[in-house]
Amino acid sequence: MSALFACQDPAAWRGVFERYWVVVETKAKGKKSGKLLSLDKWYQEELPTIISSRPEKHVTLSEMVKLMDWKLTRGKFRPRLQQLVASNSEDTVEKCSRKAFSILPDMQAAIAELSTLKGVGPATASAVLAAGAPEQAAFMSDEAMDSVPGLKPIQYTAKHYNVYLSKVLEMTANLNKVDPQQDWTPQRLEMCLWAMSVATQQRLPLLQDVDLKGRSVHEKGSDSDRRPRKKLKTT
């Protein structure tokens, strides 16, 4: 478990969130492709707006392929997954994703629906749902799961995702109870956990001034008020 997830002070979380893009940019410099920053901007900012602007939320085949490119660039690279995702038909991707969004908040059913697509497992399915419904879902990144207690060893299963999401949802609710801005979402927490994990792994000094020794949200409420050929395994 990371020190961040053990901390329930919204000011500390916000301090990490405000440095998110600095961490992404720093990591992008070490990527051979150099496309992490633009892909992450697209996923975190552009794609949610595009999905939400549609009468019925869904993603297109090209968006699914680009989302997979983002996922593999941001995390572990598994080249065959991109080929598998691209082999889905446009119609199948749109129908499947439309149905998945329509059955929310039944997260288990939504994950199962998206997982019927070729090359899509619970982790990729969670990325689709987090983009279109960040208030209900969080991307199942290795870094975030590694930061949450009780999830090791990491398993890329729907059951494991449910445990992960339930813990993230609980923390989201706790932060919103004491933070006047009340703008925390499960996906925003994933971004914070990812940033903290990457900064720690790469020994970046970017987050050293973030105080993670805060008391519980119940104890610090008043303080925070004052602070503005094997079968390919799909994930």
Q: Is the bond preceding residue 186 a cis peptide, omega within 30 degrees?
A: no
Cα–Cα–Cα angle for 11, 183, 55, rounded to 5 degrees? 160
What pLDDT does residue 58 have?
98
Query: 235: closest CA among 17, 18, 77?
Result: 77
pLDDT value at position 33? 58
Q: What pLDDT is attached to residue 216?
A: 37
- pLDDT, position 203: 85
Predicted confidence pLDDT, tens digits, the chain (235 residues):
578 998 889 999 999 999 999 999 988 887 655 799 999 999 999 999 999 999 999 999 999 999 999 999 998 777 788 899 999 999 999 999 999 999 999 999 999 999 999 999 999 999 999 999 999 999 999 999 999 998 888 899 999 999 999 999 999 999 999 999 999 999 999 999 999 999 988 888 767 767 666 533 333 433 333 344 344 456 6
Instruction: List Cα–Cα distances, 88 to 65, 69, 85, 137, in angstroms.
Output: 10, 15, 6, 24
User: pTM to 2 decimals?
Assistant: 0.86
pLDDT of residue 233: 54
Alpha-carbon torsion, ordered 190, 23, 52, 73, to 10 deg: -90
Q: Are the C-beta atoms of residues 207 and 192 closer than 8 Å to each other?
A: no
Query: What's the chain look like in SS3?
Result: CCHHHHCCCHHHHHHHHCCHHHHHHHHHCCCCCCCHHHHHHHHHHHHHHHHHCCCCCCCCHHHHHHHHHHHHHHCCCCHHHHHHHHCCCHHHHHHHHHHHHHCCCCHHHHHHHHCCCCCCCHHHHHHHHHHHCCCCCCCCCHHHHHHCCCCCCCCCCHHHHHHHHHHHHHHHHHHHHHCCCCCCCHHHHHHHHHHHHHHHHCCCHHHCCCCCCCCCHHHHHHHHHCCCCCCCCCC
Supply the pLDDT for residue 75: 85
Per the CB < 8 A criterion, the answer to whether 183 and 134 are in contact is: no
Contact present, 174 and 126 (Cβ < 8 Å):
no
Residue 231 pLDDT: 46
Note the pLDDT of residue 79: 73
